[in-house]
Structure 1
């Protein structure tokens, strides 16, 4: 059975660890690495896009990082319970035209007993910024 420690139920220490692990994985910008944190049938809402399963996650992230250059993400634990974690995050990237953006958002995560994320619901807003306004490098 595939496991991704730390496993629920979460406490402050391992919830923060889970958030840091997610941040580290996303900052690799490698869809295969990121997808390993999710169940095979994981359910996502990312903005107005709905996905199901690792295969769709990999396709989605591959396209995302083809369009979002120099992507850099920071996540912060917001709240947690037994098998749920809520995070706030921001990330920065530029598009192919060189326009920089900062995206702000919140995610709600639900984990199975093996520590794999079975649900991820993300609400995200983008703000155009100047390159000189970047905070994440």
Structure 2
């Protein structure tokens, strides 16, 4: 199995890889998202340590059940060879109707087939009011004309 673009990354392919990841996560299909990772992929996500695709599916299923109205924007921060660093923000609503904007950074490492074998995420949640929301598009892929993080001042 492979997932282009492949390392080593250049500016164009790194940006493409980041957007493909953003699009997949905004689709909120845990099985589909998990296919972008190696069978033995390792994650650190907040306080959780996740190994392998099945644990990724379980984690994402639980995440998107809790984080409703999920909308994510990722932005390339840096890249080198088979590694990419991104910053991101996503907005979501909990089961009580409260809104949050979660901010974070991720470090990614890919194998030669373009599958992610390592992901480390640091994330902070910020309570926001519904009127402070900035991510206004129908659930799914962020439209190409919607501003990114830098343009939004995030």
TM-score, scaled relative to structure 1:
0.99
Query: Which runs of structure 2 are paired with 1:117-128 in the superposition (5 Å)?
Result: 117-128=116-127
1:32 corresponds to 2:31 = yes
Q: How many residues align?
A: 136
Distance (Å, rounded) in 2 between the aligned partners of 1:91 and 1:117: 21
Distance (Å, rounded) in 2 between the aligned partners of 1:136 and 1:121: 24
Q: Runs of at least 4 residues of structure 1 off by over 6 A?
A: none
Write out per-residue CA displacement over residues 39-88 of structure 1, whole angstroms, 9 at most, x where no aligned residue.
Answer: 00000000010000000000000000011100000000000000000000
Query: Which runs of structure 2 are paired with 1:38-77 in the superposition (5 Å)?
Result: 38-77=37-76
Aligned alpha-carbon RMSD (Å): 0.4
Larger proportion of strand: 1
Shift of 1:37: 0.6
Aligned to 1:59, the other structure's residue is in SS state: helix
Distance (Å, rounded) in 1 between the aligned partners of 2:67 and 2:31: 17
Q: Which residue pairs with 1:92 in the alignment?
A: 91
Aligned to 2:76, the other structure's residue is in SS state: strand
Please list every run of 5 or more consecutive structure 1 residues that lacks an aligned counterpart in the other structure.
none
Q: Which residue pairs with 2:78 in the alignment?
A: 79
TM-score, scaled relative to structure 2:
0.88
Shift of 1:33: 1.1
